[in-house]
C-alpha cells in the first residue's frame, strides 16, 4: 500500500483521492480545506469547523446529527482546525462501518458522505447569518480554548517562542486564532466570510476502505453542493529568513518549573533533497529516548524533566522543548548547544544512527495499519508539492550517512532562545 495507489480525480472542483483496500473493516473519509494563515482571517477560519459541525440545513440540531450517526452504526464524526507551516487547515473526518460486513441494505458510505456534504456545504443559516445560539456558543468555547493555553505551560512556551522567532511571518499565528479578534466577528460577517472561504479554498477529499468507486463519485456529486469555485493559489512559504543575531526572550510568570524553548532554522523543507537526512538529524539530536539531548541533558546531567526536538518540515524550522529547574538555565543552554555542535562535527555513534533509522522506518511502516495516518502522509505530499512513497522513504532513510548529517547540520542555526521563568525577586 503506497501513495501511488490513491486514485485521483476532480469532482465539483474537489480533489478526490481514493485508496481501495480489503485491509480495513471500516471506510475512513477525511475532508481537508486549506487556506493561507493570515492575520485578517485566522480566527474566522478557526471558528468555522466547530460551527459547521453543530448543524446544517438538513440536520439543524446536534440531536439530529447524532441520530444520523447512530443509524450509521455509530459512525464517528469529527471537525477541527490545525496548521502545517503557514497553511491553516480545517478538517472534517468520518469513520463508518462497511455494509459489506453487516446485514445492511443501502450504502452506509453514501449516507456518511451525505452528512459530511450537508454539514460542509449547506450550513444552518438564519437571516443571512449563522444560527445565533450556535454562533455565540462556539465563539465562547473558542475563547476558552485560546485562554486555556496559559494553563498548559508547555504549549504556552512553545507558542511564545514561535511568536518571538517569527514576528513578521504568518507562522507566528496560532491555528486557533487570537482572542482580540473575536469581538469583531459577527454571525453575519462570519457567514459572508464562509462563502468566500468555501468558494476559493482548495478542498481535498480522501477515502480509504473497501467500497464501490461509483458510490463515492455519485455521492460527492450529489451532496457536496458547492457554488461556482475559483480556487486561490497558496502563497509561498517564508523559509529563507536570514538570522542577523541569536535572539533571547525571557518571560516571567508565576511558575515553579522553567520552560526553555529554542527555535532553529533548518532551511530544509519537505520539498528539498535534504529532507530525509534532516529527519534523521532531528532523530539523533532529540527525537527519541536514545537521542543526544535526552541522554546528555536529562539522563547524564539531570538538568531537564523533559527535553526533545521536533521538525516542522513545511516551514523549515526545528524546535527544542525542555522543562528545567530555573537556576539551571545557563548550564542547560550550554549543553544543548554542545549537542548541536557535536552533530555538526559528525560525532555520532553507529548505535545512534541505527536506532534512529530503525524507529523512523517503523513509524512509516506502522502507517500501513492506520488509515488516518496514511491520509495525513499523502496530504503532506500534496501540501508540499512533493508526493513521496513510503517504501522509497524507508530505503532513503536506510541509506543516510553521518556525512549527510554533517552536511545538513551546517544549515541548522539557532534563531531564538525563549525562557519562561518565575518572577525575579527584587533586592531590598
pLDDT in tens, 332-357: 999 999 999 999 999 999 999 999 99
- The percentage of the chain sitting over the pLDDT mark of 90, rounded to a whole number, equals 93
How confident is the model at residue 104, as a pLDDT? 67
Averaged pLDDT for residues 219-225? 96
How confident is the model at residue 100, as a pLDDT? 79
| Same fold: 7-223 with 247-421 | yes
How confident is the model at residue 1, as a pLDDT? 41
CATH number of 247-421: 3.30.830.10
Q: Please name the residue that has the C-alpha cell 462570519.
A: 190
Say yes or no to pLDDT of 3 above 70.
Answer: no
pLDDT in tens, 356-400: 999 999 999 999 899 999 999 999 999 999 999 999 999 999 999
- The residues facing 288 across adjacent strands are none
Domain residue ranges in the chain: 7-223, 247-421
Cα separation, 420 vs 249, in Å, equals 9
**CATH T-level topology, domain 7-223:** Cytochrome Bc1 Complex; Chain A, domain 1 (3.30.830)
pLDDT in tens, 129-178: 999 999 999 999 999 999 999 999 999 999 999 999 999 999 999 999 99
Amino acid at each position: 500500500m503506497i501513495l501511488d495507489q490513491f486514485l485521483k480525480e476532480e469532482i465539483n472542483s474537489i480533489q478526490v483521492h481514493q485508496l481501495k483496500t480489503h485491509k480495513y473493516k471500516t471506510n475512513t473519509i477525511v475532508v481537508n480545506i486549506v487556506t493561507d494563515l493570515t492575520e485578517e482571517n485566522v480566527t474566522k477560519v478557526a471558528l468555522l469547523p466547530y460551527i459547521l459541525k453543530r448543524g446544517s440545513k438538513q440536520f439543524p440540531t446536534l440531536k439530529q446529527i447524532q441520530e444520523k450517526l447512530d443509524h450509521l452504526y455509530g459512525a464517528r464524526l469529527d471537525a477541527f482546525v490545525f496548521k502545517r507551516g503557514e497553511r491553516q487547515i480545517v478538517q472534517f473526518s468520518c469513520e463508518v462501518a462497511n455494509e459489506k460486513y453487516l446485514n445492511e441494505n443501502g450504502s452506509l458510505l453514501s449516507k456518511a458522505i451525505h452528512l459530511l456534504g450537508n454539514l460542509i456545504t449547506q450550513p444552518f443559516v438564519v437571516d443571512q447569518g449563522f444560527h445565533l445560539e450556535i454562533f455565540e456558543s462556539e465563539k465562547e468555547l473558542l475563547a476558552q480554548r485560546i485562554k486555556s493555553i496559559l494553563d498548559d505551560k508547555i504549549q504556552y512556551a512553545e507558542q511564545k517562542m514561535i511568536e518571538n522567532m517569527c514576528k513578521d511571518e504568518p507562522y507566528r499565528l496560532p491555528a486557533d486564532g487570537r482572542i482580540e479578534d473575536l469581538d469583531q466577528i459577527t454571525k453575519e460577517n462570519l457567514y459572508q466570510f464562509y462563502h468566500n472561504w468555501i468558494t476559493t479554498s482548495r478542498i481535498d477529499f480522501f477515502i480509504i476502505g473497501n467500497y464501490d468507486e461509483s458510490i463515492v463519485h455519485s455521492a460527492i456529486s450529489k451532496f457536496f453542493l458547492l457554488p461556482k469555485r475559483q480556487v486561490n493559489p497558496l502563497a509561498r512559504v517564508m523559509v529563507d529568513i536570514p538570522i542577523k543575531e541569536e535572539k533571547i526572550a525571557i518571560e516571567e510568570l508565576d511558575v515553579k518549573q522553567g520552560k526553555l524553548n529554542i527555535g532553529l532554522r533548518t532551511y530544509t523543507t519537505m520539498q528539498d533533497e535534504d529532507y530525509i537526512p534532516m529527519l534523521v538529524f532531528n532523530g539523533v539530536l532529540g527525537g527519541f529516548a536514545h537521542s543526544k539531548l535526552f541522554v546528555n541533558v536529562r539522563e547524564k546531567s539531570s538538568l531537564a524533566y523533559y527535553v526533545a526536538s521536533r521538525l516542522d518540515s513545511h516551514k523549515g524550522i526545528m524546535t527544542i522543548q525542555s522543562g528545567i529547574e530555573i537556576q539551571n538555565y545557563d548550564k542547560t543552554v550550554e549543553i544543548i548547544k554542545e549537542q548541536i555542535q557535536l552533530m555538526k562535527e559528525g560525532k555520532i555513534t553507529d548505535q545512534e544512527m541505527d536506532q534512529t533509522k530503525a524507529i523512523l522506518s517503523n513509524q512509516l511502516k506502522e502507517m500501513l495499519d492506520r488509515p488516518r495516518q496514511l491520509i495525513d502522509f499523502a496530504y503532506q505530499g500534496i501540501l508540499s508539492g512533493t508526493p513521496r512513497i513510503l517504501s522509497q522513504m524507508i530505503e532513503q532513510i536506510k541509506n543516510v550517512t553521518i556525512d549527510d548529517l554533517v552536511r545538513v547540520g551546517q544549515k541548522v542555526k539557532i534563531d531564538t532562545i525563549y525562557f519562561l521563568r518565575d518572577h525575579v525577586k527584587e533586592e531590598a
